[in-house]
Amino acid sequence: MVRRDCCQEPERWSKLWLYKDIRSALMKNMEMEAIQGLVLQLGELHNSEKAHWNLEAFPKMPNLKLLIIHGVQFLHGPKHLSNNLRFLDWSEYPSKSLPSNFQPIELFELHLLHSKIERLWKETKYLDKLKLIKLNNSLNLIATPDFTGVPNLEKLVLNGCIKLPEVHPSIMVLKRLTLLDLENCKSLRRLPSKFEMESLEILILSGCSKIKRIPEFMENMKSLSKLHLNATAITKLPSSIEHLTNLTSLHLRDCKNLVCFPSIFCSFKSLKDINLAGCLKLDGLPKKLWNVESLEKLNVSGITLREPPSSVTLENLKELSLQGCKEPPHKLWNNLFPLNLMPRRSLNPVSLLLPSLLGMHSLKRLDLRDCNLQIIPNDIGNLSSITELYLSENHFSCLPESMVQLSKLELIDLNNCTRLRSLSQLPSTISMVEAEGCTSLETCPNGFKSHNSYTSLSLINCFKLVRQNDMISYALRMLLTAAHEEICKEFIGPYILGGFIFKIVIPGCEIPKWFTHQSVGNTVSAQVTHPNKNKWIGIAMCVVPMAYPGYWEYLECEILVNERHVSGFYLSYSPRSVKIKSDHLWMTYIPYHVISVNMRAVLDQIDENGFIQMELRFRLTIGGPGFHQVGFRLVYEQDLEDIREMLSAQSSNNTCITPYEGLDVHHNSTEEIKLKRSRDEYEGAGASGEGSSNDDSNEVSHSSLSHSSSAAPEVVASSGKTVCEDTC
């Protein structure tokens, strides 16, 4: 009502949040007693505009209670702030300290992220109502205040204050402090000799690389539930750690000087999460650790496991990481475990021997990367809850038959398992298979029936697999199956990477001719039919990025219809485990409903023949040289008829069909694949404009795309031999 009655006088309003109103108020040299709240959130202002800001206007706002300033850089800070402030949130605060006359006795939260603050105030200030101080990434902070004046402080967050050398010893008086976050205070060397803050629940010192010892914990520290000391320089934990009986989370990751892990932790009944990854000097683990019934997460990656557990009773364990764990050569565990994962005459005797996996019914994530495993035990099939399994960088040649029992498995990582020959043992319900660098691989999974919203198969540098199999037909069969399963689902969950439901990567240098619109470079465009006319249900895409020895970040696609942006999404991450040695094909499928919302505004712009202009632009972010070819094809309901018939036949006959059986697929004398299908109409205009190919051999003949209801068009795919001759 005040704004309506005084529309030209923002200085009379109680709240200001629009830039023009705030600028107008601050430029006036007059009293603004009505203003109680000011919220300014902008990008960086031009230097010429900064000069017009009059921070001397703040003394004329004596009743200001809320002040929020984000994303604005000032030339200098205010000399005065309202003492009635209750909430102050000023990112990039420009001064070395708060005004000396600032006495906000009502202040309860103080946020000064990314500020130039060196110290909040020099003398003790008494702010009984202050509950939170947050100075994240204030890179110039060199001192904390005397905390005796803020006895009711509950949260102190100094994350990323890299110049802070110590914390004021008066922090010990903060009996109500629940959170102390000093993460990445890299200059921090000194802490109080003891902690006796009875309300403290979370203590974070991770990244304080100069901390060599942590304080003693007094008996009243029973509220502490999270203790995170990652990447500190500590060599041991104090004996008073025994007082932390309600601890639930203990992180000591990358404490490279830690030589002992106290066995007292094994008696804690509430401990759920232990992370010891990268503690390279740790001389083994207590045997009792493998029997802590409350444990849900255990990460001991990189640790040399010298003594085997006599039994494992981690029935509640949900995540177990043993990445890089190897036993010493002089201690084999053969006589203690029925599952000897290392042959007696192994050329590499430094190999992890797993205990029995029986009883781990709650385990959802198991990480066994780089453990020199020669064999995967058959009882891995007993992990009935497992959803993620990481086995990369190992030396087994096959997967156990029991793998098919893992009905909840969604992701398996087999990257750089160079001896692995077959993936046929994987359960059909799996969603994501990473098999990059599996150079001995000869057979693929039999197919997926994913209950999730996407399917992804990465076979980068699997050249033997491509030479011995018709991978083009395999990939197209899987793509169409994924499209069929997607339209059969009543509910689609969130999409990985923004929209696709299927992705496969295989070695190859030529886009199959099944993708009817192709072009050299990164852009392809074509006239296509209106989606309501011929009921196209999605877009199949295929690209050939240029082989690149480095890494690019993302493979992205932007879709334009009638020159207007309608959708953009990630198609893939860059492979991190291997370097791409030659050209590869990235195939993916995007369902129509992912882009349908934004397309509605442009679909009425059709030409006289009922066509729209569609353009796809691809790019590699943060590196990458570009693309050899890009292409796409609209997928219609009629394209899926063969899939439906095949699935029906498979169900009625109770037989297993290989990924490319059941389709009308055959090779002619030139080893080309022909995928035949019927429909009344097709996107008959063909490619046009920038997306049309200069190479006629890469296009489907226009005669085969004619709008004839009496003749079913025949779409010809490129040869199943997808690896370029110079890379075979």
**According to the model, what pLDDT value does residue 257 have?**
96
E strand segments, 574-660: 584-591, 611-620, 627-636
DSSP label at 43?
A: S
**According to the model, what pLDDT value does residue 561 have?**
87
Cα distance between residue 333 and residue 352, in whole Å: 9
Q: Which two tokens stand for residue 246?
A: 């309600």
Angle in degrees, CA 634, 637, 638, rounded to 5: 100
Cα distance between residue 635 and residue 559, in whole Å: 16
Q: Give the pLDDT band (50/70/90) at residue 77.
A: confident
**According to the model, what pLDDT value does residue 696 have?**
35
Cα distance between residue 490 and residue 404, in whole Å: 26
pLDDT at 547 over 90: no
Q: Which residues contact 243 (CB under 8 A, 6 or more apart)?
A: 217, 218, 219, 221, 222
User: Concatenated DSSP letters for 640-667?
Assistant: GHHHHHHHHHHHHHT----TTSSS-EEE
The count of C-alpha atoms lying within 13 angstroms of the C-alpha of 630, restricted to the half-sphere facing its C-beta, is 21
Tell me what the pLDDT averaged over the chain comes to. Answer: 78
Q: Which two tokens stand for residue 112?
A: 């000064």
CA distance readout (Å), 680 to 535, 632, 708: 11, 20, 7
Cα distance between residue 693 and residue 670, in whole Å: 22
Mean pLDDT of 135-142: 97
Q: Are 614 and 526 contacting, i.e. CB atoms less than 8 angstroms apart?
A: yes
Per residue in 613-628, pLDDT tens?
A: 899 999 987 767 789 9
Chain centroid to CA 543:
23
Q: Are 668 and 509 contacting, i.e. CB atoms less than 8 angstroms apart?
A: no
Per residue in 662-720, pLDDT tens?
A: 444 333 322 233 333 333 333 344 443 334 333 333 333 332 322 333 332 333 333 33
Cα distance between residue 67 and residue 635, in whole Å: 54
42-51, 450-459, 556-565, 652-661: the lowest-pLDDT one: 652-661
Per residue in 577-607, pLDDT tens?
A: 788 888 999 999 988 877 776 666 666 677 7
**Amino acid sitting at position 148:** T
**According to the model, what pLDDT value does residue 708 have?**
30
DSSP bridge partners of 457: 433, 504
Most confident of 10-19, 402-411, 643-652: 402-411
Provide the 3-class DSSP secondary structure of residue 691.
helix
Mean pLDDT of 92-99: 94
Cα distance between residue 643 and residue 649, in whole Å: 10
Provide the 3-class DSSP secondary structure of residue 138.
coil
**Amino acid sitting at position 262:** P
Provide the 3-class DSSP secondary structure of residue 59.
helix
Full-model pTM? 0.80
CA distance readout (Å), 194 to 100, 186, 191: 32, 21, 8
Q: Minimal CA–CA distance to 275: which of 313, 308, 231, 315?
A: 231
Q: Minimal CA–CA distance to 103: which of 118, 83, 119, 122?
A: 83
Helix then strand count (H, E) for the chain reads 8, 33
Cα distance between residue 234 and residue 211, in whole Å: 7
